A and B are shown apart, each in its own frame.
Chain A
Amino acid sequence: AQKVTQAQTEISVVEKEDVTLDCVYETRDTTYYLFWYKQPPSGELVFLIRRNSFDEQNEISGRYSWNFQKSTSSFNFTITASQVVDSAVYFCALSELSNDMRFGAGTRLTVKP
């Protein structure tokens, strides 16, 4: 069963636009963890954020912000004032106590100058 859904396969924006990457997850556990990773063109996987299921506070880190809503099982990622260097594939992932980590299919973000 699909655990993590990233419905947006590709997104293209122009520099300085805001962009939101969607992530919807599915779990029966009450304790779980959500992650976002960035994979730039160079290929490495870079950790961005980890959130546990008991902390629904939104988080902001510079131009990045995350909106965690348990009511809709979503953990969306927004980049404000996007830059060309933000171009990458972004993965959302779910880790449950009862299961191994599951990654979404990824969203390829292209930021054009």
Chain B
Amino acid sequence: DAGVIQSPRHEVTEMGQEVTLRCKPISGHDYLFWYRQTMMRGLELLIYFNNNVPIDDSGMPEDRFSAKMPNASFSTLKIQPSEPRDSAVYFCASSSNREETQYFGPGTRLLVL
């Protein structure tokens, strides 16, 4: 079975541009998580969904960030407008239950110039 799929793997953009990160969770997993990893703050949970519904978005840093899950096999994390401080690795993870093991995608390395 395929693992969590993320695209793009790398993204370089200029400040002010819109960035969209994509994630396909493992089939059958009801939970989907978006994390951000930086040297300064480590791994931070941004938002998670259960059955396509956002449950906790308290980790989303600002209104510039938004996430959607239109169906069970696809989610997006959008940053508009992007800023240099958004540069980080963004991971998507999925699990069958909230306490079960989260399986991570390969991450999207974002650089905002």
Which residues of A are in contact with B by a Cβ distance under 8 Å?
33, 35, 37, 43-47, 50, 91, 95, 97, 100-101, 103, 105-106
Contact = CB atoms under 8 A, between A and B. Distances in A.
B5 interface: no
Q: How large is the interface on B (under 10, 10 to 19, 20 to 34, 35 or more residues)?
A: 20 to 34
Interface of B: 33, 42-43, 45, 48, 56, 89, 91, 93, 98-107, 109
A44 B99 contact: no
Contacts of B106: 43-44
Contact of B42 (A33, A43, A47, A103): A103
Contacts of B103: 47
A65 B106 CA distance: 25
Given A44-B104, A44-B107, A91-B43, A100 B99 contact: no
